Structure 1
Amino acid sequence: MDTHDTSGQLEEALERLHASGPERLGRLSNHAPMVVEALAANGRSDAVHRWLDRYESKLEEFPDRVAPVTEADWRTALGDVRRAADWTDHFTRALAERPWRSVLAVWWPRLLPGLYGGSTHPVIRVGHAVRALRHGENAPRVTELAHALGYWAARHQPVSGITALPGAPTAARSLDAVPAVEESDDEFPARLAAVRRLPVWAGDVTDPDTARERLAELVRAATHRYATHGHGEETMLVHAATAPNAVLRTLDSLPRELWAPSLHAAWTASAAVTAMYAPKEPVVYTPAARLTAEEVLERALAHGDEHVVKFTDTALDVGDEPALTAALRAVEISRPLA
């Protein structure tokens, strides 16, 4: 739907949230900035504060500062979650001095190798922030980009040592070819460390427009796949779709030479999440009724779970019947927001 929100509800919600940190309990991401943007983008600004009231108990205070991040030493601070406030300050200063697209163009290639940190939530938050800014620039939206980029820098986590396996011609078949990891630890970092083999898909793409087409194909395939495979881990598997969709949303705000590298990073992230949480067998899922996009969004909003709302937002971007079916599957198998 992607409706341009002019009600001010999003700005009010972001201002409420910018006193909060990017995580809680030392590892769980603060999803509220992403959800309120998704609601506003899909014409439900009226629900932003009601949803936020339900989620507010999960927010923690903004973390303490350690030392300023500078151009001279930023590499040593990269991936240090203790420096989240320092990184947010760094991007706040940068965005006060230069247009947000210029800041994004400099930092996107620096941060892209660490797209996997924070269970991919930082890049997803950046994608939501960029979408909001593309529809209208104002202080709360710029501040949200500073918080999102700061979180990504603080949780930056590269992945290396992956053995390339033969891929398939399509994203859907390549996701089917991803081997599951044999790892019992439930923590994302441990599972990510266990990913050692992934198929190569679209690895030869260098043309920016082709990269966009392939990235859209990946988002569509991962979204559709959730309907039959989401039960492997109903929360974490949404990121196989929402992470590449965050990258897709950002492409138009990036220099074209960054589009193909963004596709390749997004594929690796989506494939890695698939490997980490894929079920042993798919299931056949048929929804009880065929619903419109607006009805599916209403189901997700009533359910309230932050991952369900964000996955539904991605399903609405894809926009076809299998994507809406996948969103309904997420509503069905996920635990509602209390």
Structure 2
Amino acid sequence: MTTNDTSGRLDEAFERLHACGPERLGRLSNHAPMVVESLAARGRAGAVHRWLDRYQDRLEEFPAPVSPITDADWRDALGDIRRAADWVAFFARALADHPWRDVLAAWWPRLLPGLYGAATHPVIRVGHAVRALEAEENAPRLAELAHALGYWAARHRPVSGVTVLPGAPTAAASLDAVPAVHTRSRAFPDRLAVVRALPGWAADVTDPDTARTRLTELVRAATHRYTTHGHGEETMLVHAATAPNAVLRTLDALPRGLWAPSLHAAWTASAAVTAMYAPAEPVDYVPPARLSAEEVVDRALAHGDEHVIKLTDTALDVGDQRALDAASRAVDLSRPLV
């Protein structure tokens, strides 16, 4: 039994979505669980099912299981998308037997090195699931965390062999220092493979509170940067902000000893996405109007694109006018959901 209409609509949406797989066409992430959580968190629970109806054609059936994953053999299945259903079942069992924060704490350091798989969508989905659970713990939300962690394990992809270049004192300046990479392929894994050097930033941070402060700085800098650089790739550059924000949202559910490693992984993800989709030149952006937070959410919902809604959600976390301008920029650049 849910406690209110808002939570009830979100939980119904999660139940509806858990019959669907984490991807479609073998490579495109299912964004619906992240979007419906964003809408509910921003006071738009009444729009959740209407938005899902618009997105319905982009959903595929849940994949068939292969064989159960166990505590003894999980390493063999890590990063194998064919085992997505097996991973979801594995985490469903774990969450039935243990408190969700304990499961998250045990698996976060195992999964963190592979944060870069599936264009960072799995960790973003985890961040949304954690926020939902912190608002209310129930069966649909625990199931959503199982699906999110299972997707992360199935798409686990480490990044290694990246040369560390000189950085800058601030996140914004360090993002500006990221060298662009070029490849003819539009595929995220191919682009990620040619990222061989990134500036270092906050690499010496070990204190948990400092890590939180720096991670907050990174989310703000990447969100602001979208206003001037989002035209490089209007969809993919959203993740330079939403991936570290997912990590930031999860910190309070994690042991403090994991906060600094989380910052370092989030920086690498944001910097890599910045390198992969950097435009030739930044542009000045003047929003069509100075919109309030409420107006920005309304505009994003009317537009409907999943990345626009998620960037708007992150912009509201940042909370300043330039972040709201970034959300408006995403609406201007992106193709509406029809």
Q: If the length of structure 2 is used for normalisation, what is the TM-score? A: 0.98
Matches within 5 A, 1:5-24: 6-24=6-24
How many residues align structurally?
Answer: 335
Q: Secondary structure at the match of 1:164?
A: strand
User: How far did 1:6 drift?
Assistant: 4.0
Q: Secondary structure at the match of 2:82?
A: helix
After superposition, the C-alpha distances for 1:205-257 in whole angstroms (9 at most, x for unaligned) are 00000000000000000000000000000000000000000000000000000
CA contact under 8 A between 2:6 and 2:45: conserved in structure 1? no
CA RMSD, 1 decimal: 0.8
After superposition, the C-alpha distances for 1:65-99 in whole angstroms (9 at most, x for unaligned) are 00101110100100000000000000000000000
CA contact under 8 A between 1:5 and 1:43: conserved in structure 2? no
> CA separation in 2, counterparts of 1:202 and 1:128?
25
> CA separation in 1, counterparts of 2:33 and 2:287?
30
Structure 2 counterpart of 1:328: 328
> CA separation in 2, counterparts of 1:114 and 1:7?
31
> CA separation in 2, counterparts of 1:295 and 1:150?
35
Structure 1 counterpart of 2:292: 292
User: How far did 1:40 drift?
Assistant: 0.3
User: How far did 1:288 drift?
Assistant: 1.6
CA contact under 8 A between 1:34 and 1:128: conserved in structure 2? yes
Structure 2 counterpart of 1:140: 140
Q: Secondary structure at the match of 2:68?
A: coil
Letter in 2 for 1:280: A
User: How far did 1:303 drift?
Assistant: 0.2
User: How far did 1:142 drift?
Assistant: 0.3
CA contact under 8 A between 2:6 and 2:46: conserved in structure 1? no
* Pair 1:190 & 2:190 matched: yes
> CA separation in 2, counterparts of 1:33 and 1:6?
15
Structure 2 counterpart of 1:237: 237
Structure 2 counterpart of 1:85: 85
Q: Secondary structure at the match of 2:164?
A: strand
> CA separation in 2, counterparts of 1:5 and 1:176?
44
* Pair 1:100 & 2:79 matched: no
Could you tell me the percent identity over the aligned residues? 79
Q: Secondary structure at the match of 1:202?
A: coil
> CA separation in 1, counterparts of 2:333 and 2:249?
27
Structure 2 counterpart of 1:274: 274
Matches within 5 A, 1:142-181: 142-181=142-181
CA contact under 8 A between 1:77 and 1:83: conserved in structure 2? yes
Structure 2 counterpart of 1:48: 48
Structure 1 unaligned residues grouped into runs of 5+: none
> CA separation in 1, counterparts of 2:216 and 2:68?
38
Runs of 4+ in 1 over 2 A off after TM superposition: 4-7
> CA separation in 1, counterparts of 2:268 and 2:5?
33
Q: If the length of structure 1 is used for normalisation, what is the TM-score? A: 0.98
Q: Secondary structure at the match of 1:290?
A: coil
User: How far did 1:5 drift?
Assistant: 7.3
Instruction: Classify 1:75/1:37 alpha carbon distance in 2 versus 1 (closer, same or farther; 3 Å).
Output: same
Structure 2 counterpart of 1:39: 39
